Structure 1
Amino acid sequence: MKCPRTGVDLKPVNIGGITVDISEKCGGVFFDHDEIEKFDQKTKIRGGLLVQHLKQFTPPSLDLNKHINCPKCSGVVMDRSFYSSKNKIEVDKCPSCAGIWFDFGELEKLRNLIPVSAGSYKTGQQFEERLLNSPAYQEYKTALDDNADDTARREKADQLHLFLFNCIY
């Protein structure tokens, strides 16, 4: 695979039993689908080791706004979007394989934003509480209650609740 920023070969590196592909030219790293979850939180040792390893590379001047191709999927342009709702870090994600490219320093920034495991559940509970107590949700719920005989609306509300539950937990 080639680095999507510089075109040099990516180097496979084994960190704690998981192989990721790094660019020694720009300090970027490619994670296959779902691999990032093993590196994202500050408490995950392998993530700290990878961040330290990547710091040794000095990235050349790059246009990070330029769309790049997925290093794994030939010719597929990656989507550039915020990694989380905190809107602090933009990453490149492949719409085909769901792989994620982190440019130099982005993994470290992510690790500083993600709550540690013990706080993740509490954060989810707080989000759910804010959502369920929001005026918009209360208005929606009232509208559903006013149409209690409308089975389709009730099913839609149940689907919404299930969707939100899965997003939070």
Structure 2
Amino acid sequence: MKCPSHSVDLVPSHAEEAFGWYCSKCSGLFLTQKEIQAFKYNYQTDILEYLSLVTPQKISNRCCPSCSKSMEMKMLAEVMLDVCAHCQGVWFDRNEVSKIIDDSGDREIPTNMADFFGGWLG
């Protein structure tokens, strides 16, 4: 898989019980539907359920690293995420991951999401 921003290879990355695809150039993180399901199992939070309730703001200029289809931009709290409507992968820019952690006290973003992403930020 390639980074949708820099076209460099994404590398598999583990953080505690979590798994994702990491870009060493921009620190972005991609989660496939499979990784999101593992997140749901480990953290009892369904990212896709949250995002399914959100209307896309616009079509992203990025293509999905997994299936190469255009991604949609969806707002979760104050974070604009790139979401693939086809394969349900989610791309997080580094600043988006940081924002999720900062907003973990917000009712829309459970604390366990911050715990999940915190492993990638060291």
Range class of TM-score, shorter chain: 0.5 to 0.7
Partner Cα distance (2:72, 2:60) in 1: 11
How many residues are matched? 90
Match of 1:70 in 2: 64
Query: Per the alignment, do residues 69 and 104 of structure 1 end up closer, same or farther by CA in structure 2, a change over 3 Å counting?
Result: same
Is the Cα contact below 8 Å between 2:72 and 2:82 reproduced in 1? yes
Structure 1 residue 98: Cα displacement? 1.1
Flag the structure with higher helix content. Answer: 1
Corresponding residue for residue 25 of structure 1: 25
State the TM-score, normalizing by the size of structure 1: 0.46
Gapped runs of 5+ residues in structure 1? 42-64, 121-169
Aligned-partner SS, 2:62: coil
Higher strand residue share: 2
Aligned: 1:95 with 2:85: yes
The answer to whether the 8 A contact 2:2-2:65 is kept is: yes
Please tell me the root mean square deviation across aligned C-alpha atoms, in Å.
2.7
SS at match of 1:30: strand
Q: Specify the alignment match of 1:80 in structure 2.
A: 73
2:101 is aligned with 1:111: yes
Q: 1 CA distance for matches of 2:105 and 2:39?
A: 14
- Return the alpha-carbon distance in structure 2 between the equivalents of residues 97 and 13 of structure 1: 20
Query: Which residue matches 2:114?
Result: none
Larger radius of gyration: 1
SS at match of 1:111: helix
Distance 2:17 2:80 in 1: 27
List aligned pairs for 1:1-169, cutoff 5 A. Answer: 1-33=1-33, 34=36, 67-74=61-68, 76-83=69-76, 86=77, 88-115=78-105
